[in-house]
Every structure is written in C-alpha cells, then in structure tokens.
Structure 1
C-alpha cells in the first residue's frame, strides 16, 4: 500500500530521517532516475509517498504510521483506497472460494465496511480489492487490510465454500462469530473487532439478546 505524505526537499529528508530512527535502519538513497530512499522494507519516493513491501506485516505498518503521526507526519487520506494482496499461493479453486466467501457474507461485509460494492480484481500477480471510496483513518485501513488478508487465508485453506447468503436475526452477533472463525481472537484484535462491528445492528454478545453499553465496549 502507498501513503502520500506530500513532502519534498528538506521536509522529505526529515521524513526519511524519522522513519530511519523509528526502524533503527539507515536509509539508502537510490539516486536517478527514482530519487527514492529505501529504509528497510519501506520506500519514500521523490513526491514523499511511502510504500511498504509485501514482507512488512500489518502490525509493523500500523506502528510506523502511528509513530509518524505522533512526530508530525500525517499522510493524506485517499478518497479511494484499493487494498492489494499477493496472488502467490492462490489456485483457481482458492480464488473461487474467495469469491464465494465474500458472496456468502455480502450484506454483512458491505455494512461493516460501509461500502456498496465488493469486486475482486485479478492481475498477473495481485488480487485487488477496490472496496473503499471514502476517507479512512489509519486504524480503519489496518482493520480492513487485516480483514481482507484473513478472507484470503481462509479461501486458501478451505476445501469448499458455499456462496449462499442466509438471513440474519442478529447481524452483529453473526459477523462477530465470522470474525472469530477468521482468527480475530484475543485482546490483540480488540481494535479491529470494534471497528468491523461498529456499523452493524444487534448484540455482539448474545445471539437473541440486547447488549448493554458495557458489552459494546468489550466487543
């Protein structure tokens, strides 16, 4: 993914230096024609756009963006966001599983992500998810990227997925159970669960009950 900081000249050098300090890694200047700086698994191009390599974890990226924000570097929230995943490891069956998996939870995913479309675009080496057409906070970007990553992992590991979508009496509870199946378990996923459940009606704690405000905080 790319994050536009829109800094040039001395301010770009300052951004590179701050990233270097955060990562404890010396920057490497590439010179012409890119004029980019490479710091570990991250690159800052001549327009001040930060890009992350596929080897960086979502946790590393989130931590870096949060620390940059604390030091006065905020990236420009895109009006449209496309999350991409490597196509490596995806057989035709896994791609079909992914499409059926999204279809089976289409209504819930659209509400959870506040989107009206869920296309999956295939390139030679990437899977693209152009699902977002609004400005997103860094925590939202991280939550949605981890969610899509978990969908991809499940699609690869499942033998077969049914595309039939069911009716839901309690949307929040149903989606919470789905998130747990995807691996969003434990306190380390508390923020992601909260973001992904925030737009769905119902109780996350009880299938047929109404949760109180204290339960909502813990979801």
Structure 2
C-alpha cells in the first residue's frame, strides 16, 4: 500500500481530512481526538515518538500477525465537506440505481436504500443540507439503513460497508466509498432509475470506471469488487472461450485494464 492509499485509509477510518505539511517534511498529518498521526514521505506512520502500522490503528484491539488476518467491525466514515442537499440526494440515487450489483458485490442481505426513501426524497425540493435533513426526518432514517448522516459532526457513514475484512478489502471498500462520494458531488443530477443488467461484471466494471476507479491504482480494488459477480468483465456479450484474465472474465490481448 503506497502513502496515498495509507492517507486515504486513515481519512476514511477517522472521518477527517489529512493536512499536507509541505516542505521540509513533505508529510501528511491526521488529527483526531487531540492525537496527531504523521505519515512521512516513505509512508511510515508515527504518533509522537512511536511508529505504528496501519493495521494497529484500524484495529487496535488485535495484533495482526498475518497479512490476511481479519479486522473487526471497521466502518467507513467520510466528511460531509462540500456536500449540499442536492449532492446527498445524488448519492442515494446513485446507490439505488446500482443497488442490485452493490449488494451482490458486498454480499449484503438487506437493501442499502429502500424504494420509499427514493420516492420521498425525489418528490420534495432539496437544495441545502438542512432541506435534506428535514426530508430524512420526515421520510424516516429506517428507509435508508445503509447510510448514516451525521449533520452535527458533518460526516457520512457507509454503514453497509461494515464487517470483518482482510486489510486488502479495507483498502478496496475505502476507495469505493471515496469515489462514490466524489462522483455524487460532481453531478448536478443523478437518476435513481435502476440499470438494465445483462452482464453483471461488465456492467459493474464500466460503472466503476465512470466513477473514477481507472488505471493501475485501482486495479486490485476493481478485482475485489467484481469477484462475487457473474459474467464477463471484458466483453458485454460472450466471446469464444480464452484464457481467463485478472477480473475473472475472458482475456483479450488488446484489452488492458
């Protein structure tokens, strides 16, 4: 995991933004609860004069002896910074439109957002955060069980991304929440209409690319997010059988992730 990914993981874990310190240290600082974590240019984390591993911070109650050890009950918390009522509605609409695939990707038994919440939030005028808060209270938070909106502390909790994971999945799920949140803030309007699905892997993969999970930086995360889905990641329609590629679909020498 490189320094950028470590910083993102800490931001998601604590629900705060890291501060870049520039010259001469070129380090990042994450401050939470009166404590300060420094991530130096080599990616080492220190608190005071003590060097820490990322796993120690994400799961302080356990000593992870192996790379595939489980981390207990990690939640993804992201600052509500730069959000409006419109962009929060975008977020729930986007999730609802891809809910079938998200649930399968994350192996979820319950909905993240219920249909009655989507109907209600799209029937009222929502511009400001206060508008969204009032609508949320009127419709009922139970209709949006997979997301937590904390207007006092100004953060979002991706409650559907919760459980016992290996470190690799913590990184993947943090990145997914971040690009989803960023995409929602970039749009003027997002439709809640569910997508037509004729090839799960292809549909989800192309959507992940539209969200911004592009290139080698997100290659491992795309693979994790696609592994529970059926179909072919490279081709929308089936092709003659070939050697399997990295995403579990059929490879093509001219198709690069």
TM-score range, shorter chain: 0.5 to 0.7
Q: Distance in 2 between matches of 1:188 and 1:182?
A: 14
Q: Distance in 2 between matches of 1:81 and 1:107?
A: 23
Aligned residues: 170
Q: Structure 1 pair 203/92, CA: closer, same or farther in 2 (3 Å)?
A: same
Give me the TM-score of the superposition, normalised by structure 2: 0.57
Residue 214 (str. 1) matches residue 244 (str. 2): yes
Q: Structure 1 pair 208/122, CA: closer, same or farther in 2 (3 Å)?
A: same
Q: Structure 1 pair 143/212, CA: closer, same or farther in 2 (3 Å)?
A: farther
Which 5+ residue runs of structure 1 have no aligned equivalent?
3-22, 26-33, 51-63
Partner of 2:98: 105
Q: Distance in 2 between matches of 1:67 and 1:130?
A: 22
Which 5+ residue runs of structure 2 have no aligned equivalent?
1-12, 15-24, 28-32, 40-44, 58-62, 113-145, 252-256
Partner of 2:222: 193
Partners of 1:78 and 1:136 within 8 A in 2? yes
Partner of 2:147: 120
Q: Distance in 2 between matches of 1:24 and 1:74?
A: 29
Q: Structure 1 pair 127/206, CA: closer, same or farther in 2 (3 Å)?
A: same
Residue of 119, 141, 145 corresponding to 2:170: 141
Residue 83 (str. 1) matches residue 76 (str. 2): yes
Q: Structure 1 pair 91/43, CA: closer, same or farther in 2 (3 Å)?
A: farther
Give me the TM-score of the superposition, normalised by structure 1: 0.66
Q: Distance in 1 between matches of 2:182 and 2:86?
A: 13
Residue of 74, 78, 85 corresponding to 2:64: 74
Residue of 198, 203, 213 corresponding to 1:169: 198
Residue 65 (str. 1) matches residue 65 (str. 2): no
CA displacement, residues 48-107 of structure 1 (integer Å, 9 cap, x when unaligned): xx8xxxxxxxxxxxxx53799xxxx52873443321110110100000000000000000
- The structure that is helix-richer by fraction is 1
Q: Distance in 2 between matches of 1:105 and 1:133?
A: 19
Q: Distance in 1 between matches of 2:199 and 2:107?
A: 18
Shift in Å, 1:37: 6.3
Q: Structure 1 pair 168/77, CA: closer, same or farther in 2 (3 Å)?
A: same
Q: Structure 1 pair 155/191, CA: closer, same or farther in 2 (3 Å)?
A: same
